[in-house]
Amino acid sequence: MEKSNMSQTEYMPCPQNPPPPGVSPPDLAPPQYAPPQYTPTQSDVPSYAPPQSVPVQQVHTTTVLHSVAPLTQYGPKQQNVTCPSCNNRIITKTESKATSKTHLWAFCLFICGCWPCCCIPYCMDSCMNTNHYCPNCSAFLGTYQS
């Protein structure tokens, strides 16, 4: 074993061994450490830019009013109206057309045993729709549902 060549000034205290006579123990206070100085770098600092104002475009709107002909209530007979297609004052041309209601009445008469009367709903205007047309331009104007 080697002997250590320690002088009295190099003595390091140990809690188990008391210091040798004539040597004063060093100050046993814990060492004071200064916290490291932190200086933020450019990458550490969040970049915040205030919102820029967006230029607002002026929007000009125009309102277009369309003149719509008043709705005409069509009946079972011919009517005197102005055609919205050709703008002529006319008397409508009418055509009667069988509907599902017409076929249902004919079927009911057949089931009830009145098979000779099955054609009566096809002759009655009250069981059929009446379509109105312009006699000049043949435009469809409306229908009357009975």
pLDDT tens digit sequence for 65-88: 554 545 678 888 999 999 988 989
Phi/psi region, residue 137 (left: phi>0; alpha: psi -120 to 50; beta: rest), is alpha
Which amino acid, one-letter code, is at 74? Y
Look at the pTM and tell me if it is higher than 0.85: no
* Confidence band for 54, pLDDT divided at 50, 70 and 90: low
**Residue given tokens 């469809």 in the structure block:** 140
